[in-house]
Every structure is written in C-alpha cells, then in structure tokens.
Structure 1
Amino acid sequence: MVINRSRHDITRLCAIYRSNLLRTTRRYASSTTSCADRMMEDEYSDTKPSHSVNEASFRLPSLQLQSGATLSNVNIRYATYGQLAPKRDNVVVLCHALTGHPLVHQYWDAFVSRAWTDRYFVICTNILGSCYGTTGPRSIDPNTNRSFGPNFPFVTIRDAVRAQIKLLEYLGIENIKAVIGGSLGGMQTLEWALLAQEESCMNVQNIVPIACSSQHTAWQIAFNELQRQAIRMDPLFCDGNFDPKSPPNQGFSLARQIAMVSYRTHQAYVAKYGREKHSGDHQKCQDSAEKTSKDSVSFLVQSYLHYQGEKFLSRFDVNSYMTLSHMMDSHDIGRDRGGINQALNSIKQPALVIGVDTDVLYPITEQEELAQDLPNATLKILDSKHGHDAFLLEQERISEWTWEFLRNI
C-alpha cells in the first residue's frame, strides 16, 4: 500500500499528535510519575555521591574546528573523583554518552565507587556542544552577545576530544591510565587514542570503547534523522530560533521517545510491559484514566514513553540535541587517516572492547569488527536483555570487567 500525503496532511497529523500528547500528558502528569517511580528504570538520576566530587571549569581562549571555523572563549566543564597521584599517573578519563554530563555518580556510579576512586583519579568533561556547562548552543556568542542557538558551528567528535586534551594539558597530566566510554563516549575513546598519538601530546595507555562503532552507519544516522525530523515538525521549533518561553516540547518529547525504543529491545519491552494496562498494582494510574477514550494512555508502555519524553524536557536543550546528533553522524575514525582499517591498526594500546549481544542500535558485529582490527584488543560480550542501554543499566558487570582488565595490564 502506497500512501501519498501532502504537506498540509503532515502538518495536520502533527497538530493532532500535539493535541493528543498535551491531553494525555496533562491527564497522567501525576499518575505516570507515581507509576514510573516504582517500575521504570532511569539511567540518569539525582543520586548523591557516596564520596567527594569536585566540579570546575576551564577556559580555552580559542579552538580551531575541523570545519575551519574557530570557537572563541571555549568553556569546558568537568568533574573529578579521587586524588591525583604525586606522579600524576593514575588518571582515568570517562567519556559520557549523548545526554550525559560530568557528574558520573548520577548515571555510571560503578566507575566512581570507593574502589575506583581509592586507586584512580577519575575525570569526566561535559562534551563540546552540550548544555551542562561546556560551550554549546545555549552559550553566548561573543560576536553577537546572544546565545548561539541554531547558529552554533558544526563540531565533530575529534573537535570535542581535542578540547578535552587541552584541559588535561592544562592540568599538567601527560599519562592516562585509561580512557573509557560507552556509545558516544566510546566514539570519543577511539578518537582519544588516535589524537593523543598523532599530536604526540599525551600517553594514553589503555582504552575501553563500549557499545560503539568505528563510524556511524546508515542505520544509526536513520534513527538520528527520525528524531531530528520529529523536532523540526514541531511548529514551535522555528529552525531552532524558538521562543524560550514556548519551546518545541512536543517534537522534542517525541524525539526522545523514538530514541528510547532504539536503546532497548523487543525482549525487554515485552517482558517489562507486555500488554499491561493501568490496573492491579497500578490502581492509582487506572483511576485517573479515561477508559473509553481512544486518545487516552491505556497501555503501560505508552505511559513509559510519554513519561520519558516529558521528563527529558527539563534536563536537556533541544539545540544541543541537534548539535550532538549531527556530531555523532560525523563519526568516522578513518576520515583523513587512510580509512578505518589503517586507523584502527595504528592504535597499539591494549583495548578492551565491550559489546551487548542484544544491542539493536550498535549491533555486536560492529564491536567484533573493532576487536578484529585493533592489534591488541580483547572482546567481551555482555549477555543482556536491555539492548544498547545495558552499558548503563548493567554497569556493575562492565565496571568489573574493566577493573580486571586494567589490573592485569
């Protein structure tokens, strides 16, 4: 069946979606939250650290980008855990994923446990283009004295890692025990290994890329484009020049919901939600529902997606999301390096490559290819029902593997 829709039809469908989402979000604002508190995992939380964390910022006068543009007065926000050894040789760099931030204890606390921070000085920076303190679309453009918004320049993962290297140079760190990261963080990890040796600026001794690939494929680009289109179709987006008082919340919420489907698996969704509705143990949710309305949220999986989309609005910036999704799509470690195989073959450090057997977004074959072409790699496969998000949801196992890997080097 082929269905042709005019621009008018698409706009009308978008308006219907916005209207339905507004109704269901308002109707379930309190009930969904109470249900979610009991039954919906959240990889990003407000957990307080069990030990000290130090936050700081570093100002870089300028940063030359791969595009040829120059960013001035670049701020890099970072957090550290543990104590730097007198020889400054116990440094572990953690690279966060797409919507992460420097406060690692709130989502990857297994890597900043007492055992880790007693031995290592762990540092995590907010990636360039994000919205947690590092220069990004929300920052003030010194040329206009207004926020960059959609005019923030195109930045690559290589640009972001180069900024991070400048921070560690400023801190007087020359030797890094390991660089570790999952998803977008894993892509940064690979760039760390390559840039550090290309620019002879730092000694990266080991790398642990998790749930990532050597380049973004058409599959990952397609998911990112779906999310960007959801945002663009929101009439309030205005090509990124939206009124801060009326942000494109519906489009942004839908983008996050699309992402949440790609991060998990058929098995996880069916096992957790099945065809359950708001009933039984979730009587409060049921009582607030309109049982006969076709527009109402009735299945728990619908409630989960709406909840995740709504919650996300308060913690991330839409233009940063667009910026970082384009950054991820630019990922190609072989660019200007003679191709992927040549780039990977040049990484001589011991590498622990970790993949998830059920990852839909970054299939295990991509980590197998990484391990095959890295000269000194060990491949570990995580058996999990959670898909891509297992690198967050099952972090204890990944932390244990990484700890053993570093101890045996």
Structure 2
Amino acid sequence: MNGHRSEADAPTSLVVTFPVDRPLITDAGGTVSPLTVAYQTYGTLNADRSNAILVCHALTGDQHVANVHPVTGKPGWWRAMVGPGKPIDTDRFFVICSNVVGGCLGSTGPASINPATSKVFGLDLPVITIRDMVRAQSMLIDHLGIDTLFCVAGGSMGGMQVLQWAALYPDRVFSAMPIATGARHSSQNIAFHEVGRQAIMADPDWRAGRYLDEGTRPEKGLSVARMAAHITYLSDQALHAKFGRKLQDRAAPTFSFDADFQIESYLRYQGRSFVERFDANSYLYMTRAMDYFDLAADYGGSLAQAFKGTRTRFCVASFTSDWLFPTSASRAIVHALNAGSASVSFVEIETDKGHDAFLLDIPDLLATSHGFITAMARARGLA
C-alpha cells in the first residue's frame, strides 16, 4: 500500500473525529460528517492557554511541520522556522499544525473512506475552500480548549489561511504572520493550476477520480502537475545559478527526448518523489481551494472591510524574486490593513530563491519572524 493511502486511513499523528452532530458545513453547500482532523503538536500549552501558535501548511504540505515525515523519512517542512530556539520556539510556545480538510495525511479528504458508501470519497467529497479549512481548524482549536491563538503563521496557501483566520475570527487571533501570499489568487496562478489539474485528469489511470477503488494511480499525470507547479516556486535566477544549460551525466546532447539537461532530470525527480506522498484528487481539491480564494469578494469587494477594526497585530513578508505571489500582492494586504487601522509591519526580503524562500533558511526572514514574535510575546505578557 502506498504511503499517502495508509496515512489517509491511519495517520501517524494525533487525530480528532467530530461526531455527525458536529458537521463541517462547506461553502459549496455540502457537509463533511463525521469530520476527522489529523494534527501534530510541539511544546507545552501554558496554564492560561495563551501561548498557542497555529502553523498553516501550503498546498503540498501537511501537519508534519517539525518532525520526521512518516512517509518520506525527511525532516519537517518548516524546520528552519519551527523548533527549539527557532523563531517559532517550541521551548516557549505550544505549536499546532493540522492537515487541512481535503488533504491526504489523515484529515478527511478524497482518499478517506466515505462512511456512507464504505469506499473512498473520491470526487464525492464537497469542493473545499480556504474558509472551510479554517472552520475545521477552528473546530480543532475548540477541541484543544484554546480560546485565543497567540499567533497564526504560514506561507503561500498557508498564508491564505492566516488571512482568513484574521478575517473570520479576529477576536481569536492575537497576531498573524502571512508570508509570500495574497488575498486572492491571480488569473495566472489559476491558469497554472488548471494545467496541473488537466494533466491529472488526462491520465487514463485517473478513472474519473475512482482510481483508488479500481487499484490504479494517475502517477504520470500527478507527476507532470508537480513538475509544472515546481517551476513556479523557483525564480529564473535560482534556476540559472543551479542548472543553467548544464547537461545531465553526458558530454554532448543525445539528440533525443531523454533528459539531456540537468533541469529536466531535476523536474522529473521532483515529479516522481511527489507521487509517493500525495494523493492526486487532493491535489485537485487543494488547487481549487486556492483558486476560489478572494477575501475582498466576501466583503463587498473591499479588502479593507475584511480587517476593519481588527485588533490582530500583523507581520507581512514577501520576497523580491517571488513571481507566484509577488510583493505587489503583499502590499495590497498591507494597504488594506492600514485602511482598516490595523497594526501592521511589512518587509520585502531580498533573495533569488523565489516563492519557496519561505521554506528555506533565509536569515532576514528568520530575523524578522523572531523579532515580531518576541515583540508580540512581550505585548501578550509571555516574555
């Protein structure tokens, strides 16, 4: 059995299942009931439950933010940011990270068993939105007995969740760190996602989303989707510096369609490794959730209205070489926060690492995050 399927059935993490009388009502008009949320925690919750930090993961992330991944055996995906002595210090804070609803690492998703049919959901699961993800997280936070989160932090799709948390539950979020994100998905980003979805659905092994029931997996389609998306996570500068036009294990071109160039070999590796840990239908659901995200549209077209009168303190960060979520997207968030009279700091970090910089050991990002969290801890009386 492949790793992501077994994790969907029996996740290697903490799990809470909410009973049928506590369903998740989705924006699409459907219900998810019973709802299961898989999550990890790190550190210790203090006596007055005021030191909890919720980390929200990105599109292909999961709850294993600071521990060895049970499927890949690799370190947690945000080990630069989360851990003992790190900006999100697990010696000081109680850190929570849950697999989003619609995911494939234990929370209810398309690879989970549908209790109504005893088969996997497949596309029978209602389409999920960022707001649905946040509502499910709120149910988890309630379950843990936490009224107010000290901080909500995340990058990319995780940053979308941060913004949705601050808009939907302003009284429950003391501080927020949305990184390398936007208040809506751009037309270009939707286009890239559609290419990935079509690659998956064009794979004959996709079987109209019923591949797990039929014993197949659309590995080629999912691999191509990952390859296309991975290009958007990097910058032209980073690709040129790392690969240029260097050939892969050969002195001259083969004049074939083999992976002559190192960049081709790298992308093929990224695609192959991805299919071992991720579910194709979850990829469809996650990308669709990002596409539908448009926070201003929920507030009469005014992003400032989403944050009007908020008491949440914000730190917004972007990267100079991120063309997937460029600095202009972060500036739009900052302008809206200023218009809503919010407390906000903003930093544009110089790096050639592209969108994925938020996952890496970028000194300026770590210093900014450490400074913000330290200041917030003093303001909250946690210093």
Report SS of the residue matched to 1:119: coil
State whether residues 166 and 307 of structure 2, in contact with CA within 8 Å, keep that contact through their aligned partners in structure 1.
Answer: no
State whether residues 344 and 370 of structure 1, in contact with CA within 8 Å, keep that contact through their aligned partners in structure 2.
Answer: no
Judge which range, 297-306 or 375-384, deviates more. 375-384
TM-fit CA distance, 1:261 = 0.7
In 1, Cα distance between equivalents of 2:310 and 2:219: 42
2:328 to 365, 376, 399: 365
TM-fit CA distance, 1:330 = 0.9
In 2, Cα distance between equivalents of 1:209 and 1:121: 19
Is residue 249 from structure 1 mapped to residue 211 from structure 2 by the alignment?
A: no
Is residue 389 from structure 1 mapped to residue 356 from structure 2 by the alignment?
A: yes
In 1, Cα distance between equivalents of 2:58 and 2:193: 14
Is residue 304 from structure 1 mapped to residue 266 from structure 2 by the alignment?
A: yes
Is residue 79 from structure 1 mapped to residue 40 from structure 2 by the alignment?
A: yes
TM-fit CA distance, 1:401 = 1.2
State whether residues 108 and 395 of structure 1, in contact with CA within 8 Å, keep that contact through their aligned partners in structure 2.
Answer: no
TM-fit CA distance, 1:341 = 2.7
Q: Which residue of the partner structure matches residue 193 of structure 2?
A: 224
1:316-371 CA-to-partner distances (Å, cap 9, x unmatched) read 00000001110111111123322223113343311000001111111110001111
Q: Which residue of the partner structure matches residue 101 of structure 1?
A: 62
State whether residues 216 and 330 of structure 1, in contact with CA within 8 Å, keep that contact through their aligned partners in structure 2.
Answer: yes
Is residue 318 from structure 1 mapped to residue 280 from structure 2 by the alignment?
A: yes
Is residue 90 from structure 1 mapped to residue 60 from structure 2 by the alignment?
A: no
Report SS of the residue matched to 2:359: helix
Q: Which residue of the partner structure matches residue 56 of structure 1?
A: 14
- Counterpart of 1:240, as a letter, is G
In 1, Cα distance between equivalents of 2:367 and 2:17: 35
- Counterpart of 1:253, as a letter, is S
CA RMSD of aligned residues (A): 1.8
Q: Which residue of the partner structure matches residue 298 of structure 2?
A: 336
Q: Which residue of the partner structure matches residue 400 of structure 1?
A: 367
In 2, Cα distance between equivalents of 1:241 and 1:293: 39
Q: Which residue of the partner structure matches residue 105 of structure 2?
A: 132
State whether residues 174 and 311 of structure 2, in contact with CA within 8 Å, keep that contact through their aligned partners in structure 1.
Answer: no
1:271-326 CA-to-partner distances (Å, cap 9, x unmatched) read 11011112xxxxxx449xx9635121111001001000111110100000001110
- Counterpart of 1:261, as a letter, is I
2:172 to 203, 214, 226: 203
Report SS of the residue matched to 2:13: strand
In 2, Cα distance between equivalents of 1:173 and 1:135: 22
2:240 to 261, 266, 270: 270
In 1, Cα distance between equivalents of 2:184 and 2:95: 27
Normalising by the residue count of structure 2, what TM-score does the alignment of the two structures yield?
Answer: 0.86
The 5-angstrom pairing of residues 102-251 of structure 1 reads 102-105=63-66, 106-115=76-85, 116-197=89-170, 203-242=172-211, 245-251=215-221
2:313 to 350, 363, 373: 350
1:139-192 CA-to-partner distances (Å, cap 9, x unmatched) read 111211110012211111111101111111111101211100000000000111
- Counterpart of 2:95, as a letter, is V
Report SS of the residue matched to 1:366: helix
- Counterpart of 2:14, as a letter, is A
TM-fit CA distance, 1:196 = 1.3
Change (3 A) 1:361 1:408: same
Judge which range, 330-339 or 168-177, deviates more. 330-339
Change (3 A) 1:336 1:368: closer
The 5-angstrom pairing of residues 11-90 of structure 1 reads 55-61=13-19, 62-90=23-51
Normalising by the residue count of structure 1, what TM-score does the alignment of the two structures yield?
Answer: 0.81
TM-fit CA distance, 1:236 = 2.1
TM-fit CA distance, 1:240 = 1.5
Gaps of 5+ in 1: 1-53, 279-284
Report SS of the residue matched to 1:237: helix
State whether residues 247 and 253 of structure 2, in contact with CA within 8 Å, keep that contact through their aligned partners in structure 1.
Answer: no
Report SS of the residue matched to 1:207: strand
In 2, Cα distance between equivalents of 1:356 and 1:296: 34
- Counterpart of 1:146, as a letter, is K
- Counterpart of 1:83, as a letter, is T
- Counterpart of 2:334, as a letter, is A
- Counterpart of 2:323, as a letter, is V
Judge which range, 386-395 or 220-229, deviates more. 386-395
- Counterpart of 2:310, as a letter, is I
In 2, Cα distance between equivalents of 1:397 and 1:129: 33
Identity %, equivalent residues: 38
In 1, Cα distance between equivalents of 2:328 and 2:56: 22
1:218-268 CA-to-partner distances (Å, cap 9, x unmatched) read 121111111111112222223212255331111111110000111111111
In 2, Cα distance between equivalents of 1:133 and 1:187: 21
In 2, Cα distance between equivalents of 1:77 and 1:396: 31
